[in-house]
Structures are given as C-alpha cells and as structure tokens.
A and B are shown apart, each in its own frame.
Chain A
Amino acid sequence: MPLDPRIDQYGASKCVECGRCTYACPASQIGGDFSPRRIMEQMLLSGKVPSNKDIWLCMTCMQCTQICQFGVQFHEVVREIRPELKKLLPPEGNHGGAPEYLERLSAMPGISPRKQRWMTPDLKLDENSSTLLFVGCTPYFDVIFRYLRTDLLDIPRSSVRLLNAAGISPRLLMDERCCGHDSYWLGDQGLFERLARMNVEAVERLGIQQLVAFCPECMVTWKQLYPKVMGKLSFEVRSVAEVVAEAIEDGRMELSRTEETYAFQDPCRLGRHAGIYDAPRTMLASTGNLAEMPRSRETAACCGNSSFVNCGPQTRLWQLERTGEAEGTGASTLVTACPKCLIHMTCAMNESVQLVERRKLPLMDIHVQTASRIIGPKKNPASGNR
C-alpha cells in the first residue's frame, strides 16, 4: 500500500515499529488511547491517515522524534494530519476557548493590538534600537490566568530589565499580533500564514538587526516557522536567555548569588525544538545552585499541555509527577523559561494543594528569577572578560 505522501515526507516509511516513541511520549503516559507506535502502524498498514480524536492529545513536544533511531519525525506527521482532522473532530479548547479566539482576533486586519500596558517607568526602551523585543501573548495570559498567578506581567518586565542590564535598550512592536504558534500546531495553516505575513511585514519595515523573545514558542516560531512561509528574514532571532547568558559569560552583567537550589524545567520549544539547553543553565548557575532533574535536557518531560486543548485530570497527574521529580532533587524552586509551562504547572500545583495536603513547590520564571538578582551592568566590562 503506497504511503500517503503528506506523511511520507517526514520519514514515516522508515518506521520499524519498535515503540520507543510510545515509551517516551508524555501523552501516552498521561492516559487516553494515544500511542504514536500504533498510529504509525495503522498508517503503514492502510496507507491512510487515521481520523482519531486522540491525535489532539499530542503536545508536539518532540520527545518521539528525539528518541527515534530511524529519523521518523512523528510530531511533524501529527501536525500534517491535523488540518483534515480539525474539520471532522475538532479539539476541545480549554479556558472557554479564549486563547484560540484571541489568536483569530489578533489576525483581523484593521485592529491594532495595544498589549504594551505592562510597561513600568524603570524600563529603558529605545525607539531607534536595532533590537526588538517580541512580547507575545503573556499580557493576554495575565488577564485569563490572573486567578492562578498575579505575577505573569513580571516576565516581560524582567526581560526588559535583563536586556537593559546587558546593555540593550530594546524597542517594542506597537501593533504586535499573536505569533500564530498554536494555530500552526493545531492545523490551521491559513491563520498561521496570515499572522506570519502581518508580523514579518511589520517588523521588516523597522529595519532591525535582531529580534528577541522571552517566550520560547514565539522565538521558535520566528526562528524556524516564519522562514518556511516568508523566506529568509533580514534579521537574527534569539531568545532572551541566549542574550543574557552571553552577557553573563562576557562578564557584562553583574548578578548577586543566593544559596537557593533551583531545578530547571526545559520547555520543549526552547530545548528540543530550538536546541537551547545551556543558556538558561548559565543564568541559574550564576545566581544560585542548579540541581538537574533525572529527566532533563533532551529527555526533559513535558509540562503536560500544549496550545490549551484537551487538558484533563490525567494531565494533572503527569504534572504532579514532574513537580515531584523537581522536589526530589532537593531544589527549593522549580524554574522554567516558558510562560505556558509556568501556567500549566501552577494550575496543577494549586489544584493539588486544594485536594491533598501537600507542600507547595514554588514555581518561577527564569527571567523573573535572574532579573531579581541583577546588581547592574559591570562598570568596566573589559576587566570582567574571561
């Protein structure tokens, strides 16, 4: 049976059905009926793509692709079959569907979003800067998830503080739209391309040299997905963590140390998707002690949800297993670099504290953590060079 060309391009025919993907897959362990191995088997036997609601359980965290010995890109296969599935069996949106429709709303021509109200007077911005900070959806999340955390806006603020301490006064894109990450992975290519065009055209006009983002999803979307639609971008895309780690290594930034021990949750988009593992560790190691969880770096466990769909009680168990793993290292705080990881883990933590008596492991964003330890830029950077 000839294989559907849509999935064959991602190496589906090379699958030997060893099942490593299913062992590694968080969605399979969370429950439900999701098994990457079985989906691959069905496709290889029938030549068709399955129409099964379980496909929405996949978080496209890339564990399966990472562990595959034969180069099958299962997370891409999932993305490829989702547009068709979306028409028949759409995913169940969480949080009243607000995240999904905000994304659609921000793609409407004629409206100009004003998400920059989080600014505080101490933040240094420069309208002619060659560095642009892409803020992403965190200001929206602050509204939707204020019942979970009241400090989400500290993430963009801290990112600007970190950039300032590294000697960069960034500029902001005033009518910034959603990056379209969720629509891309949930199979809405049309919406994604619209958002990509609007964002890239708006940024290209500014003539900047680099775009930085603290949200790993925005960063990886700009870096890897937009060029697929818009061709090569005229500027460099980096994460705030990379810029900060570079400044720390060059001795341009002075940070105070604490004796606290931090565990680091690698966000899938920062780690496996973009390959950035060391930059956040440099930040943590220079401000405190870093404790590695058994599953870290390439094998880091997912935070339990992606794109705010199909979250359920089983997801909580997975998330609590992960926070338990962090506690097991002796760390006093679990630090992550992705606003969404922070939201998902906080949700699980708050709920479990209500259900069973349990110590609440503090969760923190890495930008907030490091920015709280800024002493200032080094007075004489040259002397601080390693």
Chain B
Amino acid sequence: MEGTSVMVEDPEAASAPPWKPNIIAFCCNWCAYAGADLAGVNRRQYAPEVRILRVMCSGRVSPGMILKAFTSGADGVMVLGCHPGDCHYRVGNLHAEMRVAQVRELLDLAGIDPSRLLLRWISASEGELFGRTMDEFAAHVRELGPLGGGKDAT
C-alpha cells in the first residue's frame, strides 16, 4: 500500500517534530480496500497519516478493535465498507453500521469526541472518494488535536 512507507519516522527530524495524528482505517477487502488500490493506481495523493488495516468485511470490526485502536494511540479511526446492498457477505456492512453507532455512543460517554470515529461506504470504483475521505478526515483529526489533548471536552 502507498501511504505505509511514509509512516516511518525520520530520526534526523527536528528535535521537537510537529504533532501528526495517528489514523487507522479499517478497510473491507472487497470495496474500500480496492478503492484504496484505485486511488494508488490513479496516483491520487492523500493524507500520509492514515494507516490502512485490511479486514475481510467491515462487519468483522468489533467494538473492542475500535476501542483498542484508541487506547493504543490512534487519534482517529475509520471503518470503511461496501455500500449497503453491495456487501460481499450480504449484511456485514449493516452490522458495522450498528456497531459503529454503539461505539460512538461509548466514546461520547468516555469523554472522547465521537467524530473521531468515521463510517463511510466506498466502493471499488471510488478511488477519488477514498482519497477525498482520507484528506477530509485527516484534516478533521488534525483540527481536534491529539486524543486526550483537552479539545474533546464539551
């Protein structure tokens, strides 16, 4: 995947490097991941902070996986799957939709801005949408600042 190689931190960088968000994108194998491939083939540049994790279906992403990403240092998490009706496993993306709604509610209770978790449907032909989603979400997370940095409190 493009986007992974730039994540290696440069040890020669300035002593206090500017803060960069850590963003995890759970991409389903059949749609969103193929969309990422298309963005790559089209040489669509997008936010380098995003790290892609391929899962077989967005419905495979459990609440614990999303929360684990946040406890392990992610500042934003995306769950990307097929459009409703297009799921390779018929209804996996609908499960993902319910779970993400639940986790957003949990994040809100825990004092974390629920907009740090994003659910989007991206098909294999939507390389441009994939790139745009990455850019927009990365900009949003940059705006929110680091997790626990004080901007989450309402």
Residues of A within 8 A of B (CB): 93, 95-98, 100-102, 104-106, 108-115, 117, 139-140, 143-144, 175
The interface residues of chain B lying within 8 Å CB-to-CB of A110 are: 147-150
B86 within 8 A of A: no
The interface residues of chain A lying within 8 Å CB-to-CB of B105 are: 143
B16 within 8 A of A: no
Question: What are 26 sample pairs from A and B whose C-beta atoms fall under 8 A apart?
Answer: A93-B64, A95-B63, A95-B64, A96-B64, A97-B62, A97-B63, A97-B64, A97-B65, A97-B67, A98-B63, A98-B106, A101-B67, A101-B68, A104-B71, A105-B110, A106-B110, A108-B148, A110-B148, A111-B111, A111-B148, A113-B110, A113-B111, A114-B109, A139-B109, A140-B106, A140-B109
Are A108 and B147 in contact, with the CB atoms below 8 A?
yes
Complex-state Cα separation, A260 to B42, whole angstroms: 71
How many residues of chain B are within 8 Å of chain A by beta carbon?
25
- Least Cβ–Cβ distance between A175 and chain B, in angstroms: 7
B45 within 8 A of A: no
The interface residues of chain B lying within 8 Å CB-to-CB of A112 are: 111, 153
The interface residues of chain B lying within 8 Å CB-to-CB of A97 are: 62-65, 67-68
- Least Cβ–Cβ distance between B60 and chain A, in angstroms: 11
**Given A98-B64, A110-B149, 7 more contacts at CB 8 Å?**
A97-B64, A98-B63, A113-B111, A114-B154, A115-B109, A143-B109, A144-B106
B132 within 8 A of A: no
CB contact under 8 A between A143 and B64, given known A106-B110, A112-B111, A175-B111: no
B46 within 8 A of A: no
Main SS at interface, chain B: helix
A115 (CB) vs chain B CBs: closest residue: B109
Mark contacts of B92-109 with chain A using CB atoms, 8 A cut-off: 1 yes-contact digit, 0 otherwise.
000000010011011011
The interface residues of chain B lying within 8 Å CB-to-CB of A108 are: 71, 147-148
Cβ 8 A contact of A100, one of B64, B70, B112: B64
Complex-state Cα separation, A143 to B104, whole angstroms: 10
B152 within 8 A of A: yes
Residues of B within 8 A of A (CB): 62-65, 67-68, 70-71, 99, 102-103, 105-106, 108-112, 147-150, 152-154
Complex-state Cα separation, A96 to B95, whole angstroms: 12
Cβ 8 A contact of A109, one of B62, B99, B106, B148: B148
Are A111 and B68 in contact, with the CB atoms below 8 A?
no
Are B110 and A111 in contact, with the CB atoms below 8 A?
yes
Complex-state Cα separation, A115 to B107, whole angstroms: 10
Complex-state Cα separation, A104 to B108, whole angstroms: 15
The interface residues of chain B lying within 8 Å CB-to-CB of A98 are: 62-64, 67, 103, 106
The interface residues of chain B lying within 8 Å CB-to-CB of A111 are: 110-112, 147-148, 152
Complex-state Cα separation, A109 to B111, whole angstroms: 11
Complex-state Cα separation, A106 to B62, whole angstroms: 19
Are B64 and A101 in contact, with the CB atoms below 8 A?
yes
Complex-state Cα separation, A117 to B70, whole angstroms: 23
Are B65 and A113 in contact, with the CB atoms below 8 A?
no
Complex-state Cα separation, A107 to B19, whole angstroms: 22
Complex-state Cα separation, A117 to B110, whole angstroms: 11
- Least Cβ–Cβ distance between B102 and chain A, in angstroms: 6
B153 (CB) vs chain A CBs: closest residue: A112
Are A96 and B99 in contact, with the CB atoms below 8 A?
yes
The interface residues of chain A lying within 8 Å CB-to-CB of B63 are: 95-98, 101, 144
Are B71 and A101 in contact, with the CB atoms below 8 A?
yes
Complex-state Cα separation, A385 to B126, whole angstroms: 75
The interface residues of chain B lying within 8 Å CB-to-CB of A106 are: 110
Complex-state Cα separation, A112 to B99, whole angstroms: 23
- Least Cβ–Cβ distance between B117 and chain A, in angstroms: 12
The interface residues of chain B lying within 8 Å CB-to-CB of A139 are: 109
Complex-state Cα separation, A114 to B147, whole angstroms: 16
A94 (CB) vs chain B CBs: closest residue: B64
The interface residues of chain B lying within 8 Å CB-to-CB of A175 are: 111
The interface residues of chain A lying within 8 Å CB-to-CB of B110 are: 102, 105-106, 111, 113, 140
